[in-house]
Amino acid sequence: MAGASGVLGGLAARELRARGAVVALAGRSTDRLAGLTTELGGAPARGFDAYDLDGCASLAAWAGQELGGLDGVLVTVGVAGFGRAEEVPDAVAEHLFAVNVLCPAAVLRGAVARVADGGFLAAVTGAVVDRPMLNMADYAAAKAALSCWLGVLGREGRVRRLRVFDFRLPHLETGFADRSVVGLPPALPRGGDPADAVHTMVDQLQGAAPAARHGEGP
């Protein structure tokens, strides 16, 4: 579980644990990870940063060793950025792509060979993939790039029955937009309940609900 220090990642870790899964936690904020580890009865935890792609790619090997195998990997890392396309500095655009595309792809790339056949590889993209909004060109483009990458991963993984998930979640009340790296979020209607969204996501990981899966088409 990469991104366990965040709101959705923390909820997903708790939900998976509550359903009997044994979970390894990875995240940036070591304080929040430590709290979650305690709450989940001593789950193994490891810090990482999106800019250390080797570190991202090594997470699955670490988790597999800690847990004695891996049934799946879920990545909930991400950061928002807002502003008209011409106003977003290049360094910020680079940051948005590093955190929203390169990091999740590195985590999952490192997991492909380590997840059991029939296991899952999953990441959260967002509804912006289908409906990019004004003032978030780089954030939406980064999520669309990750979605495209997951689509190819799903097709490549069919031979091993790997289940690849691209969770295109709608706006949720996690405070995510208020933690943007640049700019202010547009006026948004009240978001959905994060716990409900995570519950549905975990249902899909467990194969208990119709899924937003890649790998079933040509």
Q: What Rg do the C-alpha atoms of the chain give, in angstroms?
A: 16
Among 7, 59, 92, 164, binds ligand NAP (CB under 6 A): 7
Q: Establish if 93 lies at the interface with ligand NAP (CB under 6 A).
A: no
Q: Establish if 179 lies at the interface with ligand NAP (CB under 6 A).
A: yes
Q: Establish if 8 lies at the interface with ligand NAP (CB under 6 A).
A: yes
Taking the CB of residue 192, how many other CB atoms lie within 10 A of it?
Answer: 14
User: By C-alpha distance, which of 55, 98, 54, 57 is closest to 77?
Assistant: 98
Among 63, 105, 169, 205, binds ligand NAP (CB under 6 A): 169
Q: Establish if 146 lies at the interface with ligand NAP (CB under 6 A).
A: no
Query: Is residue 168 within 8 Å of 150, Cβ to Cβ?
Result: no
Which residue, 147 or 215, has its beta carbon nearer to ligand NAP? Answer: 147
Q: What angle do CA 132, 133, 138 make, to 5 degrees?
A: 70
Which residue, 7 or 115, has its beta carbon nearer to ligand NAP? Answer: 7
Q: Establish if 29 lies at the interface with ligand NAP (CB under 6 A).
A: yes
DSSP per residue, 156-172: HGGGGT-EEEEE----B
User: By C-alpha distance, which of 140, 120, 23, 31 is closest to 80?
Assistant: 140
Q: What are the φ/ψ torsions at residue 49 (nearest 5 degrees)? A: -125, 145
Q: How far is the CB of 85 from ligand NAP (least distance, A)?
A: 19
Q: Establish if 183 lies at the interface with ligand NAP (CB under 6 A).
A: no
**Residues near ligand NAP, by CB under 6 A:** 3, 5-9, 27-29, 32, 49-50, 76-79, 99, 124, 126, 169, 171-172, 174, 176, 179, 191
